[in-house]
A and B are shown apart, each in its own frame.
Chain A
Amino acid sequence: GAVVSQHPSRVICKSGTSVKIECRSLDFQATTMFWYRQFPKQSLMLMATSNEGSKATYEQGVEKDKFLINHASLTLSTLTVTSAHPEDSSFYICSAPGPAGFYEQYFGPGTRLTVT
Chain B
Amino acid sequence: TQLLEQSPQFLSIQEGENLTVYCNSSSVFSSLQWYRQEPGEGPVLLVTVVTGGEVKKLKRLTFQFGDARKDSSLHITAAQPGDTGLYLCAGARASGTYKYIFGTGTRLKVLA
> Known contacts A44-B102, A46-B100: does B31 contact A103 (CB below 8 Å)?
yes
Contacts of B98 in A (CB 8 A): 32, 102
A42 touches B42 (CB 8 A): no
The secondary structure that dominates the A interface is strand
Q: Mark A38-74, 1 if CB is under 8 A from B, else 0.
A: 0001111110010000000100000000000000000
B102 touches A43 (CB 8 A): yes
**Which 9 residue pairs are nearest across A and B when measured between Cβ atoms?**
A107-B42, A43-B105, A44-B102, A43-B102, A103-B48, A102-B98, A110-B42, A109-B42, A107-B43
Interface size class of B (residues with CB under 8 A): 20 to 34
Q: Mark A99-115, 1 if CB is under 8 A from B, else 0.
A: 00011111111101000
**Roughly how many angstroms separate A42 CA and B40 CA in the complex, as a whole number?**
12
> Known contacts A43-B103, A43-B105, A102-B92: does B40 contact A112 (CB below 8 Å)?
yes
Q: Mark B75-96, 1 if CB is under 8 A from A, else 0.
A: 0000000000000101010100
